[in-house]
Amino acid sequence: MDWLGELDAYLAWLSIGLLLAIMEMLIPGVYLIWLALAALATGALTYVLDLGLSFQIVNFVFLSLIIVYSARRMVRDNPIESTDPLLNNRMGRLVGQTATVTVAISDGDGRVRQGDSEWLARGPDMDSGARVRITGFDGGTLLVEPLTRLEDKRDGATEEGAPA
């Protein structure tokens, strides 16, 4: 083959495959590695079968399609499960935490402080300084409920159950 001068065609395909693999490492995007595999396979087949240029290009295109769709199906059927699914969900991480009301919640809206941040909050009416538990979120607003202490629950039970 003299489509690249003195360079053998299989060496050109192997070089393209290695270049694509290096580009995948430098610019991760998940697709170049599959094209690199197709180029390497085309180079190997060209070396073994001495294919013409048109067959090499058709072979590369079909191998690229087959490898990309196979990899896509493999990733879809076997997803990578994260050890920390809430890693990029800051508000999701706050659910279950306690906070302090900084701006009294009236008519369902107010502000709470959790850690070093202040958040919009929605919940039952409460005075500033009250402790709340974060039960969820809606957009950028935390949903809160009053934090009941164990002593409060016990006192309520003894008063209700006490003989008159």
pLDDT in tens, 12-36: 999 999 999 999 999 877 789 999 9
Mean of the pLDDT values across residues 97-104? 94
Across the range 126-138, mean pLDDT stands at: 93
pLDDT at 1: 47
- The three-state (H, E, C) secondary structure of the chain, written as one string: CCCCCCCCHHHHHHHHHHHHHHHHHHCCCCCHHHHHHHHHHHHHHHHHHCCCHHHHHHHHHHHHHHHHHHHHHHHHHCCCCCCCCCCCCHHHHHCCCEEEEEEEEECCEEEEEECCEEEEEECCCECCCCEEEEEEEECCEEEEEECCCHHHHHHHHHHHHCCC
Q: The whole model's pTM is what?
A: 0.52
